[in-house]
């Protein structure tokens, strides 16, 4: 197990180096220039050269990369050109909101998707199967921003207690507060604010989970040991939930991990519509302003977290299915 973790971590190194080079090349090859973006309408060519020198963009590109990479290895992701703050701090300040949104969306998708998938699998080829699949698929068929705008216009505005934008409180801290002091106000606030963004992201994910649960469960139910269980005279419920579902959830866990990781930086559009202060918006704004250090550092951090999340997921297989061993 320990050896396996080490090997996976070692595999990570070339991927991370590759990402850093790819991202560096993309941001520097893209048309657009951070100095131009920063200069006002009144700047002169001298101003341009002056700022270019101050920020080191007059150096050859490989030299810029090596300098940046050298600092990054030591944990210094540089300073934002436009905001003047350390990149690591900017990213760190966005992580709570980002993780919270990702977490709640995944939770929502799992809570709805798994039961729907099980239902569809049990009632395979019946109208129940068909309609639960249609409901699930509707989620993946709707562009996220469209769902978001529809929710705002037709739900939030009419209901009244659902906020339109921003982030209220921390859901995690609120949960902790509820458990320790029985004070649910922070949790309530946090959930109210995260609800709509989470729904508009979670619907697409729900579809994937429903579909996967269904096909995975169907596959498992065809296996010999399920037949054996049936033959032993166990009730269908026990067979499905105790023997079937437990194994069927393995691929679902992988996908949940991938989705969770992908959402960390990938919820850009939803974040924009709901003015959610997440990491995706930070990075996309930085792309628009050609704030190279944020783009480089941000994408690198997201990729790192994504990979670590997936490693964790792979390890959690051992918990769900003790027969799997790592060596």
Partner 1 sequence: MKKIIRNRSALVGLILISILLFFAIFANFVVPNDPYDMDIWVSYGAPEWFGEGSKYILGTDDMGRCVLSRIIMGSRISLMVGAVATGSSLILGVFFGAIGAYVGGKTDAIIMRLMDLILSIPSILLAIAIVATLGPGMVNAMIAIAIVRVPQMARVTRSMVLSIKEEDYVQAGKALGFSHGRILFKHILMNCFAPIMVVATLGMGTAIVVEAGLSFLGLGAQPPIISWGRMLAMGREAIRSAPHMTLYPGLAIVFTVLGFNLLGDGLRDIFDPQLKER
Partner 2 sequence: MNRKVGILVLAVVLVFGLGSAVSAARPDTIVIGSGAEAVGLDPRLETDVPSFERINVIFEALVTFNTEMELVPRLATEWGFSDDGMTLTFWLRDDVLWHDGEPFTAEDVKYTFDWVLDGDNAAPNRALYADIGVIEIEDDYLVHFHLDNPNSFLLNNIARMPVVPAHHGERGDFRTNPIGTGPYKFVNWSRDDIMNLEAFNDYWGSEPIHPYVQFRPIPEASTRLLAFEAGEIDMYQGGMVPQELPRLEDDPNIIVERAPGTGYSYLGFNTKVGPLADVRVRQAISRVINREAIVERVMNGIGTPGVSPIPPTLPWFSDDVFDLGYDIDKARALLEEAGVWGEDLTLRLYTNENPDRIRIAEILQFEAARVGITVNVTIEEWGAYLSRIQDTEDYDIFILGWGGQLDPDRAMYRQFHTDGPNNYTFFSNARLDELLELGRTLDPTTQESIEVYTEAQQIVVENAPYGFINYTEEVLIYHPHIEGITVHPYSANSWQDVHLVRKN
Residue 211 interface partner, choices partner 2, partner 1, none, CB cut-off 5-8 Å depending on type: partner 1
Question: Residue 222 class from Cβ within 10 Å (0-12 exposed, 13-18 middle, 19+ buried)?
Answer: exposed
- DSSP, collapsed to helix, strand or coil, labels residue 79 as strand
Q: Which of 4, 19, 64, 83 forms a contact with partner 2 (CB under 8 A)?
A: 83
Residues found in the chain: 327
Q: Is 237 in the site for partner 2 (CB under 8 A)?
A: no
What is the pattern of x (binds partner 1, CB under 8 A) and - over residues 9-48? --x--xx--xx--xx--xx-xxxx----------------
Residue 165 interface partner, choices partner 2, partner 1, none, CB cut-off 5-8 Å depending on type: partner 2
Comparing CB distances to partner 1, the nearer of 55 and 131 is 131
Q: Is 29 in the site for partner 2 (CB under 8 A)?
A: no
Q: Is 158 in the site for partner 1 (CB under 8 A)?
A: no
Please tell me the count of residues contacting partner 1 according to CB under 8 A.
Answer: 57
Minimum CB separation of residue 273 from partner 1 in Å reads: 9
Distance CA 143, CA 164 (A): 19
Residue 42 interface partner, choices partner 2, partner 1, none, CB cut-off 5-8 Å depending on type: partner 2
Tokens linked to 251: 């691929």
Placement of tokens 């924009």 in the chain: 272
Tokens linked to 102: 């990702």
Distance CA 193, CA 191 (A): 5
Count each helix (H run) and each strand (E run) in the chain, helices first: 16, 0
> Could you tell me which stretch among 46-54, 103-111, 178-186, 213-221 binds partner 1 (CB under 8 A)?
213-221
Identify whether the C-beta of residue 262 lies closer than 8 Å to the C-beta of residue 144.
no
Cα separations in angstroms, 327 against 6, 7, 318: 11, 10, 12
What is the pattern of x (binds partner 2, CB under 8 A) and - over residues 152-171? xx--xx--xxxxxxxx----
Cα separations in angstroms, 78 against 51, 94, 265, 302: 17, 17, 19, 16
Beta-bridge partner residues of 196: none
Distance CA 52, CA 46 (A): 10
Q: Which of 221, 252, 253, 294 forms a contact with partner 1 (CB under 8 A)?
A: 221
Q: What do you get for the CA distance between the two ends of the chain, in Å?
A: 6
Q: Is 99 in the site for partner 1 (CB under 8 A)?
A: no
> Could you tell me which stretch among 114-122, 244-252, 288-296, 299-307 binds partner 2 (CB under 8 A)?
288-296
Q: Is 76 in the site for partner 2 (CB under 8 A)?
A: no
Q: Is 215 in the site for partner 1 (CB under 8 A)?
A: yes
Comparing CB distances to partner 1, the nearer of 177 and 247 is 247
Q: Is 296 in the site for partner 2 (CB under 8 A)?
A: no
Q: Is 95 in the site for partner 2 (CB under 8 A)?
A: no
Comparing CB distances to partner 2, the nearer of 130 and 165 is 165
């Amino acid at each position: 197990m320990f050896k396996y973790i080490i090997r996976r971590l070692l595999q990570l190194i070339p991927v991370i180096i590759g990402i850093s080079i790819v991202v560096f090349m993309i941001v520097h090859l893209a048309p657009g220039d951070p100095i131009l973006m920063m200069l006002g309408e009144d700047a002169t060519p001298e101003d341009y050269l002056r700022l270019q020198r101050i920020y080191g963009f007059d150096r050859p590109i490989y030299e810029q990369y090596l300098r940046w990479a050298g600092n990054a290895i030591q944990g210094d992701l540089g300073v934002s050109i436009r905001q003047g703050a350390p990149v690591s701090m900017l990213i760190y300040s966005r992580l709570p909101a980002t993780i919270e949104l990702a977490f709640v969306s995944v939770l929502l998708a799992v809570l709805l998707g798994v039961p729907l998938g099980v239902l569809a699998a049990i009632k395979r080829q019946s109208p129940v199967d068909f309609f639960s699949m249609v409901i699930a698929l509707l989620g993946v068929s709707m562009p996220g921003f469209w769902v978001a705008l529809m929710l705002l216009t037709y739900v939030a505005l009419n209901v009244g207690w659902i906020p339109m934008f921003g982030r209220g409180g921390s859901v995690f801290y609120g949960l902790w507060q509820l458990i320790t002091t029985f004070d649910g106000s922070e949790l309530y606030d946090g959930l109210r604010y995260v609800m709509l963004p989470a729904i508009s992201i979670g619907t697409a994910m729900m579809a994937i989970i429903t579909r996967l649960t269904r096909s995975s469960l169907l596959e498992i139910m065809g296996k010999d040991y399920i037949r054996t269980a049936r033959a032993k005279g166990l009730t269908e419920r026990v067979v499905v939930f105790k023997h079937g579902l437990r194994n069927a959830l393995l691929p679902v866990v992988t996908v949940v991990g991938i989705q969770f990781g992908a959402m960390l930086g990938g919820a850009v559009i939803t974040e924009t519509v709901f003015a959610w202060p997440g990491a995706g918006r930070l990075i996309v704004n930085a792309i628009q302003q050609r704030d190279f250090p944020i783009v480089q550092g941000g994408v690198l951090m997201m990729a790192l977290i994504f990979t670590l999340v997936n490693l964790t997921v792979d390890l959690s297989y051992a918990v769900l299915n003790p027969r799997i061993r790592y060596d």
